[in-house]
Chains A and B, each alone.
Chain A
């Protein structure tokens, strides 16, 4: 009854097209996940630091930003960008652009909270000492506070990266051909839902589980350092 041959015969489409994003459809889980993680984290650093700013008019908008996006489902945010960006720019935007923008802006709120917690975990004396030896504010941040904060952030950072990686599957809702959409396309032809969805579950699992294993190793190594 079950026939996992369907996975083998469509293996190339699922992995090369759906997972990697090489092929006529564009798409690709990795092609979306990697820039989303990098850009989302970079924006998150600014948001996190803004939440710690001494000036209220910087701190306040950042707080609103974080609380807003953490109270709304990602699906909703994706739909917002799907409707709004083309209307504002008056051009058709490919699904890739819409999905990437939505992910970066949404996940930056979560990354921002992690950065904030990380910076707050660095003892105040460190920044004071840096100022005392004559570093400027930006130098203190770059050479003293952020490197230590980053180390403390690693566990929650990896957790969030895994969450984001899984979330990229939601880009398939607006028609972006990632691994999930690729499985749907194959399933429309083959009608083998159990085998196909179980297979992509395993592919996602291999990625996320190896990330979390690597993170655990990294944590242990850093704890000794």
Chain B
């Protein structure tokens, strides 16, 4: 196929996407993207719940630690965090740990950590707004029934908050998936990296980028559809589950 526009010639050759090693590279890329995103997501949710809850407890030092974490980590570009965790931190670690890391895909772990810590801070704001939208009387009632602060959060506040925040949390999870593409800068072989690799080997930029772009669109749309079902399943009857993302 040959396209012509204003005298610009470009020979399309879509077979570069499956001939040679390209197909395997794309598949590897998808798997790595999903893997790094899933692990980072778990870390982000754990950090988000912990720090989001900490920002609402009636104990100032805990609030201060959580506020520092959230305000510092979410306000710095993810790319800077990637460089920081990959280039900046390992030289400060003890020799044995550093050697182990570089023998076990340090770029993957640094990228995962950067994504998880950054999005944990952003997730934290989503979870905090969820917690703060729960009437204070819920907490007071839990206290009156003799629960400890920990129990009140773990058994009453957090479960309700998580059900309220499905839409903004979905949005944030999709941001995480998209931001995993930044990991190509520290040479994690994820989807964007593999797209670039196909482009480098075949000099077919449009085909390679089209493939990568479509795969991202499909991933994002499928996750959005799954989450919409989860949202319906877990919506609390009588509560309008629309909480603004911090």
Contacting residues, chain B, for A201 (C-beta < 8 A): 76, 80-81, 84
* Whole-angstrom distance between the Cβ of A71 and the nearest chain B Cβ: 4
Q: Which of A1-45 contact B (CB under 8 A)?
A: 1-2
| B side interface size, CB within 8 A | 42
B77 at the interface (CB under 8 A from A): yes
Contacting residues, chain B, for A212 (C-beta < 8 A): 75
Q: Which of A70-96 contact B (CB under 8 A)?
A: 70-76, 79-80, 83-84, 87-88, 90
State whether A198 touches B5 (Cβ < 8 A): no
State whether A71 touches B71 (Cβ < 8 A): no
State whether A74 touches B83 (Cβ < 8 A): no
* Whole-angstrom distance between the Cβ of B213 and the nearest chain A Cβ: 5
A194 at the interface (CB under 8 A from B): yes
State whether A205 touches B75 (Cβ < 8 A): yes
A1 to B7, CA, bound (A): 59
Other A-B pairs, 11, CB within 8 Å; known A71-B174, A166-B76, A169-B79: A1-B92, A73-B216, A76-B195, A79-B196, A83-B205, A87-B10, A172-B79, A173-B79, A183-B83, A201-B81, A205-B76
Fill in one digit per residue for B1-28: 1 if any A CB lies within 8 Å of its CB, else 0.
0000111101000000000000000000
State whether B84 touches A88 (Cβ < 8 A): no
Contacting residues, chain A, for B6 (C-beta < 8 A): 88
Contacting residues, chain B, for A2 (C-beta < 8 A): 92
Contacting residues, chain A, for B80 (C-beta < 8 A): 169, 180, 197, 200-201, 204
* Whole-angstrom distance between the Cβ of B241 and the nearest chain A Cβ: 17
CB contact between B192 and one of A73, A169, A183 (< 8 Å): that residue: A73
A200 to B196, CA, bound (A): 27
A162 at the interface (CB under 8 A from B): yes
Q: Which of B174-228 contact A (CB under 8 A)?
A: 174, 178-182, 184-185, 192, 195-196, 199, 205-206, 209, 212-213, 216-217, 220-221
| A side interface size, CB within 8 A | 41
A187 at the interface (CB under 8 A from B): yes
CB contact between B88 and one of A87, A172, A198 (< 8 Å): that residue: A198
* Whole-angstrom distance between the Cβ of A74 and the nearest chain B Cβ: 7
State whether B217 touches A180 (Cβ < 8 A): no
Q: Which of B38-85 contact A (CB under 8 A)?
A: 71-72, 75-81, 83-84
A170 at the interface (CB under 8 A from B): yes
A209 to B196, CA, bound (A): 34
B91 at the interface (CB under 8 A from A): yes
* Whole-angstrom distance between the Cβ of B44 and the nearest chain A Cβ: 17
Closest to B86 in A: A193
Q: Given the known inter-chain contacts A73-B181, A200-B80, please indicate yes or no for A205 contacting B192, CB distance below 8 A.
A: no
CB contact between B87 and one of A72, A168, A197, A204 (< 8 Å): that residue: A197
